[in-house]
Amino acid sequence: MKRSFANGWLIARTILLEAVRRQELYVIVLICVALLTGLRFVRWFDLESLDKFYREVSLEAMQVAVALTAILLAARQLPREFKNRTLYPLLAKPVSRLQFLLGKFLGVMLAAGFCYALFIVIYDFVSLIANADDVDELPL
């Protein structure tokens, strides 16, 4: 049992490292950050305090972007394994198909969590900048 969990964890860790190494994750994050930053600095209806609106729209956009990231990463995992022919030697080792698929799933979920953590850090930073009245208040 311990060995099967180690095999799945190894596959998940490999998927996470591959997702961090590839640029597709960062492209999605940058596009969403650009949209959220633009939204943050636009004055809607000449109202001064729309913080709750910005927060709700930002969190919803982040959730949609993370869901899209997870879907794109998951949809591209198995075809890439077949194309690169790395699936066959892996399945010849003592790794069951279930361990392989669960490891892939866990890796994609870890990559989605990494993407969401990036969003939260960037959202907090943009919120600090947007809420600071002058440059002296920035915590840099």
Q: What is the pLDDT of residues 112-134, one digit of tens each?
A: 898 888 888 888 887 777 666 55
What integer pLDDT is reported at residue 132 of this predicted model?
A: 65
Rounded-to-integer distance, Cα 99 and Cα 96, Å: 5
pTM exceeds 0.85, yes or no: no
| Separation in Å, CA 1 to CA 5, 7, 110, 123 | 6, 10, 22, 41
Rounded-to-integer distance, Cα 53 and Cα 135, Å: 24
Q: How many CA atoms lie within 13 A of 108 on its CB side?
A: 19
